[in-house]
Amino acid sequence: MRSAAEISQLLNDLDTTIADNLEDQDLDFKEWDGKSIQKAVKTVIEMAICMANGGGGTVVFGVSDKILGRAHAILGVPLEVDQNILLRQIYDSTDPKSTPVFEELMVPEGTGRILVMQINRGLPPYTDTSGQGKIRIGTDCKPLTGTLRRKISIETGESDYTFERIPGAIESHISSAAMEAVRKAAVKEQAPADLISLTDLDLLKTLGLIKNNQLTRAGLLLVGKETSIHEYFPHYHWIHLRMTDDTQYTDRMDGAESLIVALDRITDRIMADNPLTTVSYGMFHYEYRRYPEIVLREVLMNALCHADFQINSPILIKQFPDHLEIGNPGGFIGGITPQNILHHVPVARNPLLVEALTKLRLVNRSNLGMSRMFRGMLIEGKEPPGIDEQGESVKVLLKGGEISSSFKAFVDREVSSGRGLTVDHLLILKYLLSTREIDTKTAAQLIQRTENEARDILHAMEHERSYLEHGGSGRSYYWSLVPSLHRELDLSGHPYGDRRIEWDAAKTRILSVLQQKQGRADMYLKNAEIRQITHLNRHQVTRLMNELMQENPSIKKDGKYRAAQYFFSDTPA
d(Cα 472, Cα 194) in Å, to the nearest integer? Answer: 60
Q: Name 182's Cβ contacts closer than 8 Å, sequence gap at least 6.
A: 222, 223, 258, 260, 360
Q: pLDDT truncated to tens, each residue of the chain (573 aa)? A: 888 889 999 999 999 899 999 999 899 999 999 999 999 999 999 999 999 988 899 999 999 999 999 999 999 999 999 999 999 999 999 998 988 999 999 999 999 999 999 998 777 889 999 989 999 988 899 998 877 776 766 665 556 889 999 999 999 999 999 999 999 999 999 999 999 999 999 999 999 999 999 999 999 999 999 999 999 999 999 999 999 999 999 999 999 999 999 999 999 999 999 888 888 777 777 888 999 999 999 999 999 999 999 899 999 999 999 999 999 999 888 778 899 999 988 888 899 999 999 999 998 766 678 899 999 999 999 999 999 998 889 999 999 888 888 999 999 999 999 988 999 999 999 999 888 789 898 999 999 999 999 999 999 999 999 999 987 666 668 898 998 898 888 755 444 445 555 777 788 888 888 988 888 888 899 988 888 887 777 878 888 898 899 888 899 998 887 788 999 887 655
CA angle 158, 162, 164 (to 5 degrees): 80
The three-class DSSP label of residue 268 is helix
Q: What is the mean pLDDT of the chain?
A: 89
d(Cα 316, Cα 486) in Å, to the nearest integer? Answer: 39
Cis ω on the peptide bond leading into residue 125 (within 30° of 0)?
yes
The predicted structure's pLDDT at residue 519: 81
Q: Hey, what domains does the chain have and what are their CATH numbers?
A: 4-155 (3.30.950.30), 162-403 (3.30.565.60), 422-489 (1.10.10.10), 497-568 (1.10.10.10)
d(Cα 98, Cα 50) in Å, to the nearest integer? Answer: 11
The predicted structure's pLDDT at residue 411: 93
The predicted structure's pLDDT at residue 88: 92
d(Cα 437, Cα 4) in Å, to the nearest integer? Answer: 31
Amino acid in position 280? S
What kind and span of H or E run contains 151? helix 146-155
The predicted structure's pLDDT at residue 572: 58
Burial of residue 380, with CB atoms counted within 10 A of its CB: 0-12 exposed, 13-18 middle, 19 or more buried = buried
> How far are the Cα atoms of 224, 231, 308, 394 from residue 221, in angstroms, in the given order?
6, 12, 13, 20
Task: Please give the model's pTM, rounded to 2 decimal places.
Answer: 0.69
d(Cα 389, Cα 367) in Å, to the nearest integer? Answer: 18
The three-class DSSP label of residue 474 is helix
